[in-house]
């Protein structure tokens, strides 16, 4: 007897945007529509949707003053469109803390657990939890599944997860968790589908470079080290986040500069990174256009590439060599000059680009003589969430 078609609605809530998509079950999953509401909290918030077959509606004003208003606008669109209602709803939750190593059905107990983790990811968990609550209100009875970005990194060895802090502090869950796990899980799944042996038996670095940015070292298919730590603010320089920061800087700002904890949090997450250095834009495309005439823009780009190259080298050291490097995310996929600047000088580690292939955004951009393969891949967190949600719901 054939298995009935299932429809999976997915939400991927970020600090200033919400992606959403509807999939039909099958092998592979079939996208019915995919959309995004961007610039939440600003007067320029917009809703755009792409339908199966390529038809799209782009850039209509959304009037989303906050995440609740944004979700309500999205639900209003979903309920007005001629598409099947969902059988399952999947959500990306950035942080699963020490409790959740796998996707889980949303229950009151799970929501209570995640509510206690909000201080771990204050920019990301509250918006996602609003989506869960509104889905329960507006689509009552539809099972919901939580997929955690941190789960992929639970395979990291203890020494990679630890901070050099007293045990009572570590017992409170203060450790390195890592993020972008759903993106990395999708990339490995695609690499296996493509027959890339190093995805399961090799030394791989995956570089997710976008508004948020991180890298992960994968050995024999498992995360062994990553750049983000306790929160999504650590590691690489990002669009508006600092990346790694000496804790003495935070103490100085609190004790000597007179900043409040809320002001420090706002600065670290929303006013630093590319925006803070350039004082102009958090968008790499803008900065690349400006760098020839604007020294601050040039410095922001240089710092991003320098820190990325430094972290890449450290991950290769952890792996003991490199077989495959993958660039993904908005910057990783679409900025050849940034890929080139990151890779420049790492020939001693087997990294060498073919600049023609790189400039064309080819699937493989490494030189034929390179010791490691370098790929450019599109990631799809929403499809990963849909697959995990469907798998879990079918087990019920």
pLDDT at 56: 66
Report yes or no: 110 and 136 within 8 Å, Cβ to Cβ.
no
For range 25-37, the mean pLDDT: 93
Residues at the binding site are 12, 19, 92, 208-212, 283-285, 330-334, 381
| 145 CB-near residues (< 8 Å, 6+ apart) | 88, 89, 90, 91, 103, 104, 105, 106, 385, 388, 389, 392, 393
pLDDT at 60: 81
Nearest-angstrom CA–CA distance, 79 and 250: 46
Considering the chain, what is the average pLDDT of its residues? 94
pLDDT at 396: 74
The string of pLDDT tens digits covering residues 179-231 is: 999 999 999 999 999 999 999 999 999 999 999 999 999 999 999 999 999 99
Helices 125-138 and 67-80: crossing angle in degrees, nearest 10, is 40
| 150 CB-near residues (< 8 Å, 6+ apart) | 94, 95, 96, 97, 100, 177, 178, 179, 181
The string of pLDDT tens digits covering residues 277-319 is: 999 999 999 999 999 999 999 999 999 999 999 999 999 999 9
The string of pLDDT tens digits covering residues 350-361 is: 999 999 999 999
pLDDT tops 60 at residue 2: no
pLDDT at 54: 65
For range 368-391, the mean pLDDT: 97
Domains in the chain with CATH codes: 7-176 (3.30.420.40), 197-376 (3.30.420.40)
Residues at the binding site for substrate are 92
C-alpha dist (Å) from residue 236 to 159, 171, 261, 305 = 20, 26, 22, 9
pTM: 0.94
The string of pLDDT tens digits covering residues 99-121 is: 899 999 999 999 999 999 998 88
Distance of CA 364 to the CA centre of its chain: 22
The string of pLDDT tens digits covering residues 315-335 is: 999 999 999 999 999 999 999
The string of pLDDT tens digits covering residues 144-164 is: 999 999 999 999 999 999 999
Grouping H, G, I as helix, E, B as strand and the rest as coil, residue 32 is: strand
Long-range CB contacts (within 8 A, 24+) of 317-322: 318/160, 318/217, 318/224, 318/225, 319/203, 319/204, 319/205, 319/217, 319/219, 319/224, 320/203, 321/203, 321/349, 321/350, 322/203, 322/204, 322/205, 322/349, 322/350, 322/351, 322/371, 322/372
Active site residues: 149
Residue 27 carries which DSSP code? S
Report yes or no: 105 and 145 within 8 Å, Cβ to Cβ.
yes
Percentage of the chain beyond pLDDT 90 is: 87
Measured distance between the N- and C-terminal CA atoms of the chain, rounded to whole angstroms: 19
């Amino acid at each position: 007897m054939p298995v009935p078609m299932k429809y999976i609605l997915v939400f991927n809530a970020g600090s200033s945007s919400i992606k959403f998509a509807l999939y039909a079950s099958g092998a592979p999953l079939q996208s019915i529509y995919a959309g995004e509401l961007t610039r939440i909290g600003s007067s320029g918030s917009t809703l755009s949707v792409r339908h199966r077959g390529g038809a799209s509606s782009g850039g209509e004003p959304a009037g989303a003053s906050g995440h609740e208003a944004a979700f309500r606008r999205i639900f209003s669109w979903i309920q007005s469109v001629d598409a099947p209602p969902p059988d399952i709803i999947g959500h990306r939750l950035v942080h699963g803390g020490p409790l959740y190593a796998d996707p889980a059905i949303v229950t009151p107990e799970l929501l209570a657990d995640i509510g206690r983790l909000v201080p771990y990811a204050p920019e990301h968990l509250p918006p996602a939890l609003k989506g869960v609550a509104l889905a329960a209100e507006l689509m009552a009875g539809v099972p919901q599944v939580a997929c955690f970005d941190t789960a992929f990194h639970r395979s990291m060895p203890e020494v990679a997860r630890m901070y050099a802090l007293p045990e009572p502090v570590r017992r409170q869950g203060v450790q390195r968790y890592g993020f972008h796990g759903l993106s990395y899980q999708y990339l490995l799944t695609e690499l296996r589908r493509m027959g890339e042996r190093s995805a399961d038996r090799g030394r791989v670095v995956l570089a997710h470079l976008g508004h948020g940015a991180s890298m992960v070292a994968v050995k024999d298919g498992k995360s062994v080290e990553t750049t983000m730590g306790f929160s999504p603010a650590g590691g690489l320089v990002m669009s508006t986040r600092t990346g790694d920061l000496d804790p003495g800087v935070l103490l100085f700002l609190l004790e000597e500069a007179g900043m409040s904890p809320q002001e420090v949090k706002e600065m670290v997450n929303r006013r630093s990174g590319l925006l803070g250095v350039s004082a102009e834009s958090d968008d790499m495309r803008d900065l690349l256009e400006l760098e020839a005439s604007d020294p601050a823009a040039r410095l922001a780009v240089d710092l991003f590439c320098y820190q990325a190259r430094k972290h890449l080298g450290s991950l290769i050291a952890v792996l003991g060599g490199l077989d495959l490097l993958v660039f993904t995310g908005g910057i990783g996929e679409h900025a050849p000059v940034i890929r080139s600047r990151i890779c420049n000088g790492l020939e001693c580690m087997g990294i060498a680009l073919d600049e023609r292939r790189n400039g064309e955004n080819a699937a493989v951009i490494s030189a034929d003589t390179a010791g490691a393969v370098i790929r450019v891949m599109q990631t799809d967190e929403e499809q990963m969430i849909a697959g995990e949600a469907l798998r879990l719901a079918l087990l019920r």
